[in-house]
Amino acid sequence: MATMEQCMKALQGILGDLAANPAAEGLDRSLSCRLTDLDEVVLGRLSAGAVRDLHVQPHGPALPKADIRLTMASDDLVALTDGRLAFGPAWASGRVKLEAGLRDLLRLRKLL
């Protein structure tokens, strides 16, 4: 199990790369990443070519619903960022879940 510090570093990396992609220009969306094994949720915002306001919140019913929602185990998040796990196969096998509106999913498809 990865630590929360490792997860935050991994999220900064993967989301920062995503935000810096020219295809993400003009994207302004709230995001969340639920780490199932740590029972924590990281909330933030993807806007203006950067990831902003990443912060950890314990998983609970009072969480706001983000525009883009990821769910995975902490080890899978770290594996995604260091190249040991590819997003497509991880998503297809259910190790990583991605929820978003249809328009966002189509746009994210170009970025991932």
| Averaged pLDDT, 46-68 | 83
Q: Is the pLDDT of residue 71 over 90?
A: yes
pTM, whole model, 2 decimals?
A: 0.86
| Averaged pLDDT, 55-77 | 87
Residue appearing with tokens 């094994």:
37
**Contact in structure between 75 and 2 (CB atoms under 8 Å):** yes
| Averaged pLDDT, 30-54 | 90
Q: If you compute the radius of gyration of the chain from its CA atoms, what whole number of angstroms results?
A: 13
| Averaged pLDDT, 71-99 | 92
| Averaged pLDDT, 35-44 | 93
Q: Is the pLDDT of residue 112 over 70?
A: no
User: Is 4-111 CATH 1.10.10.60?
Assistant: no
**Contact in structure between 68 and 46 (CB atoms under 8 Å):** yes
Beta bridge partners of 70: 33, 98
**Contact in structure between 82 and 7 (CB atoms under 8 Å):** no
Q: Is the pLDDT of residue 32 over 90?
A: yes
Q: Is the pLDDT of residue 109 over 70?
A: no
Q: Which two tokens stand for residue 91?
A: 């998503």
Q: Which two tokens stand for residue 59?
A: 């998983």
| Averaged pLDDT, 23-50 | 88
**Predicted pLDDT of residue 24:** 75
